[in-house]
Structure formats: C-alpha cells, structure tokens
Amino acid sequence: MSHVVLLGDSIFDNAAYVAGGPDVRAQLERSLPAGWRVTLLARDGAVTGGVAQQMLRLPRDATHLVVSAGGNDALGASGILDQAARSVAEAVGQLAEIRARFQQGYDAMLGSVLEPGLPTAVCTIYDANYPDPLRQRLVTTGLALFNDVITRAAFRRGLPLLDLRLICDSPRDYANPIEPSVEGGEKIAAAITGLVTAQDRGYPHSTVIAR
C-alpha cells in the first residue's frame, strides 16, 4: 500500500486558514486512489532547518515524500526589503548573502530527506498574494532567489519539482497573502496526486509539475 508523507510548512499544514474547509492533507486523501495513505508531518511555521526533526517521525511504511519548505525562511529574511542601501551593488550583495545561507540550509535539509532512499519531490515557494502591488512586486522578486536555490537543488539530484508559482496562479488560491485556501489546496493536492500516481515511481529524471 502506498503512503505519501507531507513534510515542511503551512503550505501543507493549512488547516488553520481554511475556515473549517478541507486542508491539503484531507484533499490529498480524497484525490489519491483507494488504499493510499497520507501522513502530515509538515508544521505551520516550520523553517527549512526543522524538516530534519520531522523526518525523525517518518512512518516505516512511507513510500513517497513531498517537501514544501523555504517560505518561512524567506519570510524571516523579508525585512531586507525595507532596508536602505547606498548602492545597487550593496543591496545585491546583501541578497547574495541571504541566498548563500539558504542554499546551505536547504542542501542540508534535502540530504536528510533523501537519506531513506524514497521517491521524493520538492515544491517551489509560490508568489504570495499581497494586496499592495509594490509589495507584491518586491516579494516576488525576492522569492526568485530562494526558488533558484530550490530548483537547482531539485535538478541537481534528478528530483521532480512541483512549481507552486504556476499551480497557485489565482488570488482565490490564497486564504491570506501567504497561506493556501481551499481552492489552492485542491490544486496542490491534484498536482501531488498526478505526480505520485505516475507509472514511473522511481523518478529517475527531474520533471516540472505546473498543474
């Protein structure tokens, strides 16, 4: 029997934001074929460094892992968007330092997730949905640094990538600026289902899932 385990943050652990509606875990259970199981180890507020702790509770019968991590790391670094800089070069240098720290942490996290040797997929950080157009533009641009780390890490290891920037492409997909709504969760669950039920469960090559 197949058993999908969700790791990471509130992209999966979104029950607090759907006003009593189904969360991603429940939607995934409904979407998967009969007999499949889902375990939610992801936790709202978790950063990339917390995923290794989640892995300590990995069920012995797990068959597929899906990771959504990095959004809270980006949120923690978002204060830089409001800082002054003396030059563009100085600002880019500060962003480069943030990117380098995230890359180190993300690579370490992914190493712990891959250690059991199970089929694994990772998610990008979606674009968010801030009502202020300028804030949205800044956030989307800043997130590109984090998503570059994630996509490179996935492709370097031959892992499939769920691109949440393209999956959650409507304001209705967000319960607030940074959390998935019922509609967004449904899209995420459908994308995961399409991936893990594919005929080739070994994932020998990277694949980008955009729907």
Domain ranges, ordered by start, for the chain: 3-209
pLDDT digits (tens, 9 = 90+) for 134-186: 989 988 988 999 999 999 999 999 999 999 999 999 999 999 999 999 999 99
CATH architecture of the region 3-209? 3-Layer(aba) Sandwich (3.40)
Measured distance CA(28)–CA(195) in Å, rounded? 12
Reported as a pLDDT band with limits 50, 70 and 90, residue 1 is confident
Residue 30: left if φ>0, alpha if ψ -120 to 50, beta else—which one? alpha
pTM, full prediction: 0.91
Q: Distance of CA 133 to CAs 21, 130, 139, 177, 205, Å?
A: 29, 7, 10, 12, 37
| Strand order across the beta sheet in which 3-8 lies | 37-40, 3-8, 64-68, 120-123, 161-162, 208-209
Measured distance CA(192)–CA(135) in Å, rounded? 30
Q: What is the pLDDT of residue 200?
A: 47
Answer whether residue 14 shows pLDDT above 90: yes
Backbone angles phi, psi at 88, to 5 degrees: -65, -40
Q: Distance of CA 54 to CAs 43, 75, 126, 176, Å?
A: 9, 20, 22, 26
Measured distance CA(206)–CA(201) in Å, rounded? 12
pLDDT digits (tens, 9 = 90+) for 181-201: 999 999 999 999 999 988 445
